[in-house]
Amino acid sequence: MLNLNKLKNIELVLFDVDGTLVNDYGELGERTKKIIMNLKKFGVNFSFASGRLHSALIPLAEELKLYSPLISLDGTVIKSISEKDFVYRSYLKENHVKKAIELSERYMVNIALCHNDVIYYTEQNSVIPKLMDKFGAPYQEVESYDNLTDKTLELVFASDNRLAVSYIRDKFIFPFSLGISISFFRSQTHDNIYYLEIRRSGSSKGKAMKRLLKHLKIQEEKTAVLGDWYNDISMFESKALKIAPANAISELKRKADIVLKKSNNEEAAAVFLEKLLKAKMS
């Protein structure tokens, strides 16, 4: 049984976006929007913790009239909606970026450079917009990466050549791997496509949540987090109230305080938000 006082004390709700807050078409449910507007009257704050780029979160934030800074690129950036102020950002070292570009050319693997608001690719990597799963991200073709290596937040390799991608992963080994985190995985949406993502270490949704809470002066215990995927696990290892939709991975469901019976396509978030609203009104 969920403690009513726990719900009454919630000051911030932090949503994962894709697979959690929006449906599979990237749309917000009307019921969800209405309840969020009502909860704001009780002083509840809302924000996102997403793998999307910051710019891809702005339309949703504007639709919900959010004011708190947003966590993007899985914790690599925390930035105000006005797009002026950074709470946190974590650029890769230039030598890591240059090494990655050189390896991509040597092994003929596509590479893209993710900056705060744009994903850059060259003509040689022109298939990148079709291969990448960065929902709502703007892409820009450039002649060269030469002037873009100093403000790269994430490197993404994408190829159907699993061996070549794994070779590149293995090149980023100790001691060169110091200061970076590496994710190697197969695409869920593109057949036989493999990805390698490289970020500066110390960035995760869980760590970003702590940074955001410190900025907002809100305690972990007064926060609710909703998520569905592996990159949400770090948030589910906190003292926050943890909520998983029906479509969440089993690892999250085991860590969750509430497992909802509805999926993101059935406005699962609204089910929890209704519970929160009732607690606030009681």
Place of tokens 């797009």: 83
Residues of the chain with CATH 3.30.1240.10: 94-200
Ranges of CATH 3.40.50.1000 domains, the chain: 4-89+203-281
Residue-averaged pLDDT of the chain: 93
**In the Cβ-directed half-sphere of 124, how many Cα atoms lie within 13 Å?**
14
Q: How far apart are CA 144 and CA 279, in angstroms?
A: 55
* Calpha distance 111→126 (Å, rounded): 10
Omega before 175 cis (within 30°)? Answer: yes
Q: What is the pLDDT of residues 45-98, one digit of tens each?
A: 999 999 999 989 999 999 999 999 999 999 999 999 876 789 999 999 999 999
217's torsion region: left (phi>0), alpha (psi -120 to 50) or beta? left
pTM over 0.75: yes
pLDDT of residue 267: 98
Angle between helices 94-106 and 162-171 (to 10 degrees): 150
For 116, residues 6+ apart whose C-beta sits below 8 A from its C-beta are 53, 54, 55, 72, 77, 79, 89, 151, 153
State the chain's maximal CA–CA distance in angstroms: 63
Assigned CATH topology for domain 4-89+203-281: Rossmann fold (3.40.50)
**H/E element holding 197?**
strand 194-200
| pLDDT score recorded for residue 175 | 67
Average pLDDT over residues 244-255: 97
The CATH number, out of the four listed (3.30.1240.10, 3.40.50.300, 3.90.1530.30, 3.90.1150.10), of the domain defined by the range 94-200:
3.30.1240.10
| Tokens 């997403």 found at | 50
DSSP string, 146-191: TTSSSS--EEEEEES-HHHHHHHHHHS-TTTTTTEEEEEEE-SSST
DSSP classification of residue 20: T
Distance (Å, rounded) from C-alpha 20 to C-alpha 10? 19
Residue 196: pLDDT band by 50, 70, 90 thresholds? Answer: very high
Element (H, E) at 14: strand 12-15
